Amino acid sequence: MADEVLELCARAREGDLDAASELVTLYHAKIFSYLRRLCGNDDDAADLAQKTFFKVWTSIASFQGRSSFSTWIHGIAFHVYGDWRRRTERLEHRENEWWECCALEGPTPSDDAAEKDLARHLYSAVERLEEESRQAVHLHYYQGLSLQETSQVLGVAASTLKYRLRAALDFIRSSVKEPMQDTHQ
C-alpha cells in the first residue's frame, strides 16, 4: 500500500487528476473523521477537510516521502484545525448525545448499554484533557498513527509524546473509574 501511495503522490505532483482523486478517496474518510472528533460537527469538519485537501494539493510538490503520506496529511489537518481553533477560539461544551454518535463504524459501544455509558465517559474524559494531550490521544489512538508518526505530526520528541499519552491515560482511567464506582454504590 505504501508503494502505491507514493506512486499516486508522484503522479499527482505531475498533475495527474486521477491520482489526486484516488488519494482523496483513500484518505478523506480518515481525515474527516479526525476533524469531526476535534471540532464536534459535520459542517465544520467538512470545511476543515476541504481546507486540508486544498493545502495538500497546493503543497504536494513539497512531499518528499521522508514520512508516510498518512503522517504528512494528518500533520496538515492538525495545523488546519489549530489555525481554525485559534481563529474561532472554539471551546464548546459537547452534549452527551454528540458523544453517543462519535463511535467508529463497526461494533460500537452503543451495542450494549454498559459499553455505551463507558464510551460516553471515555470520550468525555478525553475532551477534558489539555489541548496538547487531547491531540496526542486523537492522533495515536483514534487515528491509529504510530508513536513516531504522532510525534512528527505534533512536532514533539517521542519522549514528550509518551509522557503526554501516559498522563492522558492516567487522567482518563481516574475519570472513568470515578463515575463507574458511583453507579455501583
Report pLDDT digits (tens) over 144-171: 899 999 999 999 999 999 999 999 999 9
Range list for CATH 1.10.10.10 in the chain:
93-185
DSSP letter, residue 97: H
125 pLDDT above the threshold of 70: yes
Q: What end-to-end distance do the CA atoms of the chain give, in Å?
A: 50
What pLDDT score was predicted for residue 142? 86
What pLDDT score was predicted for residue 154? 93
What pLDDT score was predicted for residue 27? 93
62-76: average pLDDT = 89
Please tell me the CATH code under which domain 93-185 is placed.
Answer: 1.10.10.10
Higher per-residue confidence, 159 vs 111: 159
pLDDT band at 63 (very low <50, low <70, confident <90, very high): confident
Dihedral sign from CA coordinates of 150, 153, 158, 160: negative
Distance, CA of 19 to CA of 164 (rounded, Å): 37
**How would CATH label the architecture of 1-91?**
Orthogonal Bundle (1.10)
Range list for CATH 1.10.1740.10 in the chain:
1-91
184 pLDDT above the threshold of 60: no
